[in-house]
Amino acid sequence: MNSSANHRPLAAHALCKSFDATVALDDFNLEVESGSLLTVLGPSGVGKTTALRILAGFEMPDSGTVRVNGQTVNGPGIFVPPERRQVGMVFQDYALFPHLNVARNVAFGLDAHHRELRVSQVLEMVGLAGFEKRMPHELSAGQQQRVALARALAPGPQVILADEPFSNLDAALRKRLRAEVRSILREARTTTIMVTHDQEEALAVSDQLALMNEGRVVQTGPPDHVYRNPATSWVAEFLGDADFFDAHAKGGRITTPFGTFPTTRSGKVKVMVRPESVTVFPHAQGVAVVTYREFFGHDQLLSVKLPGKITLRARCWPQPALAPGDRVAVSVDGIHIFDEPQAPPAPPETPPGTPLPQRVVIPR
C-alpha cells in the first residue's frame, strides 16, 4: 500500500463481502483523489452498490479497510458508524424526508450554528433558492434530485457518494441534469464517488473511471484513456462496441486479412477492433463482403465478413450506400491486442500506467 492513501479523501483496501453464498466484493480496492469525480462503472450485480454502502457505513465488510481522509473507519476491530464518517450520500430514490420541507431537509445534517446561512448557500448553489418552504412531493424529479444533492453537500463532507443518481430520471432530463450536477460538484470542489451501470453517463461526467466486474475493480483511469487502452477484453467490450478474433503473432508482427501490424508479443493472441476505426470502400476485388447494414442518418453500421471467419463492424459515413453482398476493401485505423484467451483477467491493482498493447496504424 502506498502512503499517499492516507491523504486521500477516501480509500478502500482489499474489501471482501459475501451474502450467504454469493460473493459481492472480492478484494475491492479504490482510491479517489481530492476534488475529483470518480465513477464506479460496471454491469448490474457486480457489487457496486455493496461497495458504496460499505464506504458509507451501512454495511460491514467481512474484511478489508476503509479510510476517510486518512482515518480508518473500517478495519480490524474498527467500525465507525455512518453518522461519524463525514461521508455524504445521494440515494437512488433521493430519500428526501417527506415530512420536512426543502429547507429542513437540507438543514438536517447541520448544527444550529450558521444553519440558515448554509442552507441558503447550498440551495443557491444547486439553483433552488426560493424553494425553501416547498415540500418534497411538490418538486419535480429533477428538483428533488438537486435537493438531495444540496442536503448531502450542506455539512461539507469529505466525500459524497452517489448511487445511480440519474437512473430515476427520463432520458432527456438525465442528460441535462448530469451536466448540471457535474458543474455543481466542480463549483463545490467536492470529492465524489458515483456508481452507475450506464457507460455513456460514466464516460461523459467522470474525471476517473473505475471499472468493476465480479466484485473487484478491474481498471481505473481517465475515461478516454480507459476507452482507448482497455486492460482486458471484458473492459473493451463493456465500454463500447468491439469485435474480437483470434490471431497468431510471429516475428514481431500479426498478419490479418486487412494488413499487418507490429507487436511485441508472440503466439496466440486476441485482436480487438472498434467499429469506428474501420473504414470500408466499394472495391470489386475487395477481400470482404457486406453482410448487414443499419442506417442511422448521421452514420451507418456495416457488418463485413473477411476471410478466416472474421466479422467486423464498421461505423462510417452514411455514404456510399452499400448493400449486403457488395464487395468492399477494408482499412483499419488501429487494433488492440490481448494475451487472451488463455490469460486470466489482469490483476485489479494494475494501475493505468502499466504497458498496454500498442496502437498501430496500418500503412495505406
CB of 250 to another protein, least distance (A): 47
- Contact call for residue 135 and another protein (CB under 8 A): no
According to the 3-state scheme, what is the secondary structure of the chain? CCHHHHHCCEEEEEEEEEECCEEEEEEEEEEECCCCEEEEECCCCCCHHHHHHHHHCCCCCCEEEEEECCEEEEECCEECCHHHCCEEEECCCCCCCCCCCHHHHHHCCCCCCCHHHHHHHHHHHCCCCCCCCCCHHHCCHHHHHHHHHHHHHCCCCCEEEEECCCCCCCHHHHHHHHHHHHHHHHHHCCCEEEEECCHHHHHHHCCEEEEEECCEEEEEECHHHHHHCCCCHHHHHHHCCCEEEEEEEECCEEEECCEEEECCCCEEEEEEECHHHEEEEECCCCCEEEEEEEECCCCEEEEEEECCCEEEEEEECCCCCCCCCCEEEEEECCCEEECCCCCCCCCCCCCCCCCCCCCCCCCC
**From candidates 88, 142, 230, 348, binder to another protein by CB under 8 A:** 88
- Contact call for residue 84 and another protein (CB under 8 A): yes
Query: Among residues 164 and 207, whose Cβ is nearest to another protein?
Result: 164
What string marks each residue from 4 to 43 as x (binds another protein by CB under 8 A) or -? --x-------------------------------------
CB of 79 to another protein, least distance (A): 4
Query: Among residues 93 and 246, whose Cβ is nearest to another protein?
Result: 93
Query: Among residues 34 and 279, whose Cβ is nearest to another protein?
Result: 34
CB of 52 to another protein, least distance (A): 11
What string marks each residue from 91 to 120 as x (binds another protein by CB under 8 A) or -? xxx-xxxxx--------xx-----------
Residues touching another protein, count (CB under 8 A): 38
Chain positions contacting another protein, by CB under 8 A: 1, 3, 6, 56-58, 60, 67, 70-73, 75, 77-85, 87-89, 91-93, 95-99, 108-109, 151-152, 155
